[in-house]
């Protein structure tokens, strides 16, 4: 809320209550009135607010900005509400108002009985979805060298049972496997003997450095090809270290396997939907490995929509029953073989996933 708006609201509030004080003073001097019911000051006053769509997960509401108010008081015949510098009147005490901007607002309510009045106030925090998201985090890869350590960390090794998928690569933090130059990040999958494994690659993640809940994550990338290759742009729930997988949730924005060249997968994993039972959709992208494309997941409390170059091809219905209502961190990697990557071309030598940028909007 701007300083000007706060100042206007405070001035309006002072004026509103000054009028009340004047009216109360006038009513106190009217000793000649015989109307006892009109001389009673409204009492036991209550201001109730219902933010439409409010829940534990979304206390500020569903983004519509609609708030319903009910003012109650004994001996009251008329009610007024001062909200967002607007004065509303009602004989029932029921009001509805649509806020245009997110913020915390002080709401003043008054109950009247003739010249007598009483007032209360309450602060409410309202969320308004204007449809315009703002960039909150990104890596544009407009530098040279290792990936920015203020944004990215690495998984090292082969995990347990090949990261649970019988993968064949060993992940490193070497520049040989992850390097930025000419405006893109290159994640390089290489055939080489290293730490007892036949392939090396890199797996970068923002865990412990950046995570978010709801919004839009956007990757612009060109994918590797070759039988056995398995690049992925995805996210895991922050709670993985406490509730483990798949209870933490997994959002696969893009997966591709060289054994199904040009088929793009987007998948959700959560309890009851692990491994091959994930909720998945595919689409065909003929230039997946020859051109850059924009892979996006737009995520709310009610849905997760997956798109390529702006075309939505997979919509998942989110709800409070899923783990997709907490913060997630970002992961990028190129795996080799395993349960999903499949058989490896014996003549494979090297392949790279190039990433132009990663952006998060909220």
Beta bridge partners of 108: 82, 121
Dihedral sign, Cα of residue 338, residue 340, residue 346, residue 352? negative
Question: Which whole-number Å values give the CA distances from 75 to 31, 120, 150, in the listed order?
Answer: 19, 15, 62
CA distance 70 to 49: 7
Catalytic residue among 48, 89, 175, 250: 250
Q: For residue 147, with 0-12 CB atoms within 10 Å meaning exposed, 13-18 middle and 19 or more buried, which class applies? A: buried
SS3 helix, strand, coil % of the chain, rounded to 5? Answer: 15, 50, 40
Q: For residue 29, with 0-12 CB atoms within 10 Å meaning exposed, 13-18 middle and 19 or more buried, which class applies? A: exposed
Indicate if 175 belongs to the active site. no
Both tokens of 239, joined, read 């709670």
215: alpha, beta or left? (left if phi > 0; alpha if psi -120 to 50)? left
Catalytic residue among 48, 169, 195, 255: 255
Indicate if 192 belongs to the active site. no
Helix (H) or strand (E) holding 17: helix 3-28
Active-site residue set: 250, 255
């Amino acid at each position: 809320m701007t300083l000007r708006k706060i100042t206007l609201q405070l001035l309006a509030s002072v004026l509103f209550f000054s009028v009340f004080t004047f009216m109360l003073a006038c009513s106190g001097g009217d000793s000649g009135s015989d109307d006892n019911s009109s001389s009673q000051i409204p009492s036991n006053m209550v201001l109730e607010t219902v933010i439409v769509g409010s829940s534990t997960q979304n206390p500020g509401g569903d983004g519509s900005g609609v708030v319903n108010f009910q003012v109650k008081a004994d001996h009251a015949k008329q009610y007024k509400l001062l909200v967002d510098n607007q004065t509303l009147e009602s004989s029932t005490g029921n009001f509805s108002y649509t806020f245009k901007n997110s913020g915390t607002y002080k709401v003043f309510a008054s109950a009247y009985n003739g010249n007598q009045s009483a007032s209360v106030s309450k602060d409410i925090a309202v969320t308004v979805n204007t449809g315009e998201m703002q960039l909150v985090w990104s890596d544009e890869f407009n530098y040279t060298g290792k990936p920015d350590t203020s944004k990215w960390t690495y998984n090292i090794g082969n995990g347990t049972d090949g990261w649970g998928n019988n993968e064949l690569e060993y992940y490193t933090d070497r520049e040989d496997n992850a390097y930025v130059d000419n405006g893109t990040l290159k994640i390089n999958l290489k055939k080489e003997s290293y730490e007892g494994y036949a392939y090396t690659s890199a797996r970068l993640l923002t865990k412990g450095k950046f995570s978010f809940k709801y919004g839009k994550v956007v990757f612009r990338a060109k994918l590797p090809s070759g039988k056995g290759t398995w690049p992925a742009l995805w996210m895991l729930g922050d709670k993985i270290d406490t509730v483990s997988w798949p209870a933490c949730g997994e959002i696969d924005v893009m997966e591709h396997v060289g054994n199904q060249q040009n088929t793009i997968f987007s998948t959700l994993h959560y309890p009851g939907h692990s491994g091959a039972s994930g909720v998945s959709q595919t689409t065909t992208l003929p230039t997946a490995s020859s051109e850059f494309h924009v892979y996006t997941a737009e995520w709310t409390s009610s849905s997760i929509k997956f798109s390529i170059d702006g075309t939505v091809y997979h919509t998942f219905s989110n709800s409070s029953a899923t783990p997709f209502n907490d913060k997630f961190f970002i992961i990028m990697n190129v795996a080799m073989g395993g349960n999903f990557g499949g058989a490896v071309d014996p003549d494979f030598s090297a392949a790279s996933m190039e990433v132009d940028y990663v952006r998060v909007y909220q």
